[in-house]
């Protein structure tokens, strides 16, 4: 819109045209105010009924909330106005009238449940605190990309339609691909390993993954954003260093660049960046510390995966981010390399006290051992020939990880439900909008 002035830029003495949404109308009798909202804030439009044209007053005060309007007039100083200025209108143009019966209240005066909010995401995003989540999300992803580049990584994009899954045929969404069966990819794992085996040694990807798991919890999605890294001539310790650096970079960027958004979310005073190195606990130490808390009904033993209540107990005990290393080989996927001891893997997880954020490890780069891993997990190596044959042609040692993007956002902001970190979430019940 030509000659439009954002509300934050309106200065006393200007003749301005502002445009946005009708946030609120306050009728005080002889004088009334329309509060107009745009991407930069809100501004007060003053109607003095006895001194203005009746049609102008009727148009300005008769419009329904959340209608899109354009207002032209003089900007005057008014200390009592929310922003210290107000517009005395000469014209009001209703660009798009809103239905008076709104499914939720964008002003936030009336709460709506999460399902209603997600069904009406466009309206929901008009609230400052909801918009703040996605401004912060964008900053977190920007900071992650920048930190990866500091680690000398090249950004890549891998296929999301594949012939077979990273870990076989389970938990995959099937699709028809020109008459053939195909799947939505559950991870860029195999492709990023192939790239790390080229002369492009360190790579990262930030993109969607798809998992056909029938979860219905506050921390699971069926379409999620994965932040992935893979590095040649890296071991699990190098990969953990990168993971820790990316997570800290996200916190630092939010602290430095998202003050207004943290304020909108009520987090400005208490927000802090993790300090010091993240502790690295072995799997064996982790189950010992969980058992020592006495929070579980049954003691964990070697080979048990960690239940949610165990993760919570350990997170409370540690009190911050931490790694769990040296997992039993039987728990980790076939492509995770052993320590030279078949019972112990190079796999690791990065944990927030609330939940797991990262899974990674050093990869198996020896062709014959990789084939054995497929067979041990009941997978047919022939279905993965495009992947396994490249390990015959000089595959260097390499390591990497996958970081859950929404889980990172969720834990940084203390969100109750992972769906709040996604514009249009996909889960068992939700395929629209």
Q: Tens digit of pLDDT for each residue in 313-340?
A: 999 999 999 999 999 998 888 899 998 7
Asked about 139 being catalytic, the answer comes back as no
Q: What is the pLDDT of residue 374?
A: 85
Q: What is the pLDDT of residue 184?
A: 95
Q: What is the pLDDT of residue 108?
A: 83
Asked about 407 being catalytic, the answer comes back as yes
Cβ-based neighbours of 214, under 8 Å, separated by 6 or more:
428
Lowest mean pLDDT among 3-12, 83-92, 348-357, 380-389: 380-389
Asked about 369 being catalytic, the answer comes back as no
Q: Tens digit of pLDDT for each residue in 277-315?
A: 999 999 999 999 999 999 999 999 999 999 999 999 999
Distance, in Å, from the CA atom of 324 to the CA atom of 53, rounded to the nearest integer, reads: 71
- DSSP for 78-130 reads -TTSTTSEEEEEEEEEEEEPPPSS-SS-TTSSS---HHHHHHTHHHHTTSHHH
Q: If you average pLDDT over residues 377-391, what whole number do you get? A: 89
Asked about 359 being catalytic, the answer comes back as yes
Distance, in Å, from the CA atom of 205 to the CA atom of 311, rounded to the nearest integer, reads: 27
Average pLDDT in the chain: 94
Report the binding-site residues. 167, 211-213, 219-221, 356, 359, 363, 404-407
Rounded to two decimals, the pTM is: 0.94
Domains and CATH numbers, the chain: 7-96 (2.40.50.140), 122-278+320-421 (3.30.930.10)
**Which of the following is catalytic: 137, 220, 352, 365?**
220
**Which of the following is catalytic: 76, 139, 213, 284?**
213
Asked about 213 being catalytic, the answer comes back as yes
Asked about 147 being catalytic, the answer comes back as no
Q: What is the pLDDT of residue 164?
A: 79
Report the binding-site residues for ATP. 211-213, 219-221, 356, 404-407
Q: If you average pLDDT over residues 404-432, what whole number do you get? A: 97
Asked about 220 being catalytic, the answer comes back as yes
**Which of the following is catalytic: 65, 117, 211, 321?**
211
């Amino acid at each position: 819109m030509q000659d439009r002035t954002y509300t934050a830029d309106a200065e006393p003495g200007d003749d301005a045209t502002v445009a946005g949404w009708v946030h609120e109308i306050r009728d005080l009798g002889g004088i009334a105010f329309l509060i107009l909202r745009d991407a930069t804030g809100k501004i007060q439009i003053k109607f003095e009924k006895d001194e203005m044209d009746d049609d102008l007053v009727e148009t300005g005060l008769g419009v329904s909330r959340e209608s899109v309007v354009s207002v032209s007039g003089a900007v005057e100083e008014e200390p009592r106005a929310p922003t210290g200025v107000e517009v005395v209108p000469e014209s009001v143009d209703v660009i798009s009238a809103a239905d008076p019966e709104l499914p939720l209240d964008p002003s936030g005066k009336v709460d709506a449940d999460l399902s209603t909010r997600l069904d009406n995401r466009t309206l929901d995003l008009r609230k400052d605190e909801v918009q703040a989540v996605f401004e912060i999300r964008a900053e977190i992803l920007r900071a992650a990309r920048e930190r990866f580049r500091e680690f000398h990584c090249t950004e890549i994009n891998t296929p999301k339609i594949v012939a077979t899954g990273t870990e076989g045929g389970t938990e995959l969404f099937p699709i028809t691909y020109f008459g053939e069966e195909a799947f939505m990819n559950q991870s860029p794992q195999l492709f990023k390993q192939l790239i790390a085996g080229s002369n492009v040694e360190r790579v990262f990807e930030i993109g969607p993954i798809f998992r056909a798991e029938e979860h219905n919890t506050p921390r699971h999605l069926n379409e999620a954003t994965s932040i992935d890294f893979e590095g040649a001539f890296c071991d699990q310790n190098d990969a953990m260093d990168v993971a820790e650096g990316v997570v800290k970079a996200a916190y630092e960027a939010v602290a430095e660049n998202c003050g207004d958004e943290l304020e909108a979310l009520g987090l400005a005073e208490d927000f802090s960046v993790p300090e010091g190195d993240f502790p690295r606990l072995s799997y064996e130490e982790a189950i010992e510390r969980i058992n020592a808390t006495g929070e579980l009904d049954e003691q964990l033993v070697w080979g048990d995966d960690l239940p949610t209540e165990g993760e919570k107990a350990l997170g409370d005990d540690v009190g911050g981010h931490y790694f769990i290393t040296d997992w039993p080989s039987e728990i980790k996927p076939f492509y995770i390399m052993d320590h030279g001891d078949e019972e112990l893997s190079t796999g690791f997880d990065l944990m927030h006290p609330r939940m797991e954020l990262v899974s990674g490890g050093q990869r198996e780069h020896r062709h014959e051992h990789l084939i054995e891993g497929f067979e041990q997990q009941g997978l047919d190596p022939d279905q993965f020939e495009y992947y396994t044959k490249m390990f015959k042609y000089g595959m260097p040692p390499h390591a990497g990880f996958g970081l859950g993007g929404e889980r990172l956002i969720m834990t940084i902001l203390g969100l109750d439900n992972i769906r709040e970190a996604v514009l249009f979430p996909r889960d068992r019940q939700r395929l629209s909008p």
